[in-house]
Amino acid sequence: MHFNGSNYSSDTKEPEPAPGTAAENINPVLRHITPQLVRTEREVREKQVTQDISKLLGKPGPYTIETGDVLSIVVWDHPELSNSATVATAGPVGTGADASTSATTAPPAGFIVDHEGIIQFPYAGEVKVAGLTQDQARNLLANRLAKYLKQPKVTLRVQSFRSKRVYVDGEVKNPGLQAINDIPMTLVEAINRAGGVLPSGDQSQIIVNRAGVNYSINLPQLVQRGVNPASILLTSGDVIRVRSRDESKVFVSGEVVSPRALPMHNGRLTLNEALGESGGINPTSGDGSQIYVIRKNGPEQVVYQLDGRSPGALAMAEGFELSPKDVVYVAATPLANWHRSISLLLPGALSSAVGAVGPTR
C-alpha cells in the first residue's frame, strides 16, 4: 500500500467512472491536517446533531401497582382479614417429590393483582388497584371497609414487584432481567444493578431500545454537556445493551513498530494516541512526512495527511480525533521501497553486493 499525494484531488471529488470499468474505485479526497482543519473538525463534532433522547428523560414518580404484583395487606385489629386470600396452606409434612412440588407451586402469600388489575378482599369485594400508588390503593380499600368496620386502619404495600421489568445485556457484569420496584429505574440504576460496565464495555455506545426504537447514549458526552444520566428514566420492556469496545476499533498499519487494531477509549482516540500505542513510526523504514488517516465519510472516502516533520505536528496529532473504523497508515521511505523492490526482483543480490564490498579478514 503506497500513497502519493499527486494521485489525490484536494477537497474535490473525481467524476465517477462508468460501471464495469477497472477504475471503479474513486480517488478519495485528500486533506492536509493543519491547525485550521483540527479546529474545524472539533467544531463539527461539537455541533454534530445527536439523536433526540428527550423521550427518555423524565422525573421519577411513585411506583404504581400493575398486573402481576403481589400485595401485602394488613387490617389492624383484624388478623383474620390479613392476607387471607392467597395464604398457602401447609399440607402433611413429608419428604420426596410431593414436598418439593408443593414448595415450588404454592402461590405467594399475599393478594395477587389479576390480569384486569383487580384484587379480591373480604368485605370490600373486587377492588381495582392497577394504576394506583400504594397510598391511593390503601385509602381506596379503607373506604370500602369503612362500610363494615369502624374506622379501619389499613397497611398496604407491594410485597413482590412482578409487573415491570427491563433487560440489561452486553458488557456488564451480570446481564439479565432487572425488576422495577419502588426505587425509580434510571439508566444508571439499571447498569449498577447489573454489576456495572466491564472494562471491555464502551460507555459511549449504550443502546436503549424502547418500542422498537434504538436510542444511542454516550454517557461521557452527556456528562460533558451537563446532562445528568440519572434523568434517563426507564420503563417496563426497555432493553439496554452496552456495546463492546471491540466494535469501535481503529486500525493502524504500515511503517509502525507494532501494527494493530486499537479499541477506542469510550468513543475517543486521537491520532497521537494511536501512533503511540502502536510503538510509533518505524525509525528505519517509516516516512514521518506521510502519515495518513483513511476515513469513510458517507458516500465519499477522505484521506487526511499529516507531515510529522512540520513544527507543531505532535500538537496537531493530539488534537485530531479519530472515528471508529478509521485506518491510520504510515508510508515507507523511498529508500525502503527501493530496497524492497530490488529484493523482490533479485533475491539475495543486495546481501551479496554488501558482502563483496565489505572488509576482508
What pLDDT sits at residue 176?
94
Mean pLDDT of the chain: 82
301 near 310, Cβ under 8 Å?
Answer: no
What pLDDT sits at residue 9?
45
Choice among 33-47, 74-88, 140-154 with the minimum mean pLDDT: 74-88
How far apart, in whole angstroms, are the C-alpha atoms of residue 327 and residue 302?
11
Which grid cell sits at 8?
489525490
pLDDT one-digit tens code per residue, 154-182: 999 999 999 999 999 999 999 999 999 99
How far apart, in whole angstroms, are the C-alpha atoms of residue 52 and residue 238?
17
Choice among 82-86, 240-244, 277-281, 345-349 with the minimum mean pLDDT: 82-86
> Mean pLDDT, to the nearest integer, of 232-256?
93
**Confidence grade of residue 221 (pLDDT, cut at 50, 70, 90):** confident
Q: Is the pLDDT of residue 30 over 60?
A: yes
Give the residues across from 82 on adjacent strands: none
What pLDDT sits at residue 337?
81
Beta-strand relationship, 176-179 and 213-217: unpaired
285 near 266, Cβ under 8 Å?
Answer: no
Q: Is the pLDDT of residue 68 over 70?
A: yes
> Mean pLDDT, to the nearest integer, of 351-355?
53
Please give the share of the chain, as a percent, with pLDDT higher than 90: 51
Which grid cell sits at 156?
398496604
- Looking up cell 379480591 gives 120
Q: What's the pTM value of the predicted model, to 2 decimals? A: 0.69
Q: Nearest 5°: CA angle at 265, between 304 and 166?
A: 125
> Mean pLDDT, to the nearest integer, of 285-298?
90
How far apart, in whole angstroms, are the C-alpha atoms of residue 327 and residue 338?
25
Please give the share of the chain, as a percent, with pLDDT higher than 70: 80
Q: Is the pLDDT of residue 259 over 90?
A: yes
SS3 label, residue 280 = coil
List phi, psi (to 5°) of 60: -65, 140
Q: Is the pLDDT of residue 353 over 90?
A: no
Choice among 45-59, 120-134, 296-310 with the minimum mean pLDDT: 45-59
Q: Is the pLDDT of residue 240 over 80?
A: yes
Q: Is the pLDDT of residue 131 over 60?
A: yes
CB count within 10 Å of CB 229 equals 18
What pLDDT sits at residue 358?
52
Q: Report long-range pairs for 128-133 (Cβ below 8 Å, ≥24 apart).
A: 129/65, 129/71, 130/64, 130/65, 130/66, 130/67, 131/64, 131/65, 131/66, 132/64, 132/65, 133/62, 133/63, 133/64, 133/65
How far apart, in whole angstroms, are the C-alpha atoms of residue 342 and residue 162?
74
> Mean pLDDT, to the nearest integer, of 191-217?
92
Residue type for position 134: Q
How far apart, in whole angstroms, are the C-alpha atoms of residue 174 and residue 317?
39
What pLDDT sits at residue 81?
78
**Confidence grade of residue 12 (pLDDT, cut at 50, 70, 90):** very low
Best CA proximity match to 231, nearest among 63, 59, 62: 59
What pLDDT sits at residue 311?
82
Please name each of the domains of the chain with its CATH number: 5-32+248-342 (3.10.560.10), 54-59+163-245 (3.10.560.10), 70-160 (3.30.1950.10)
- Residue 188: DSSP 8-state: H
Q: Is the pLDDT of residue 268 over 60?
A: yes
End-to-end CA distance of the chain: 42
Residue type for position 34: T
What pLDDT sits at residue 298?
72
Q: Is the pLDDT of residue 359 over 60?
A: no
What pLDDT sits at residue 50?
66
In sequence order, what E strands does the chain have? Answer: 9-10, 29-32, 70-75, 111-112, 118-121, 125-128, 154-160, 165-170, 176-179, 201-210, 213-217, 239-244, 249-254, 260-263, 286-297, 300-306, 327-332
What pLDDT sits at residue 60?
86
How far apart, in whole angstroms, are the C-alpha atoms of residue 124 and residue 22?
83
Is 172 exposed, middle or buried, given 0-12, 13-18 or 19+ CB atoms closer than 10 A?
A: buried
Number of residues assigned to the chain = 361
What pLDDT sits at residue 48?
66
Residue type for position 41: E
What pLDDT sits at residue 4?
52
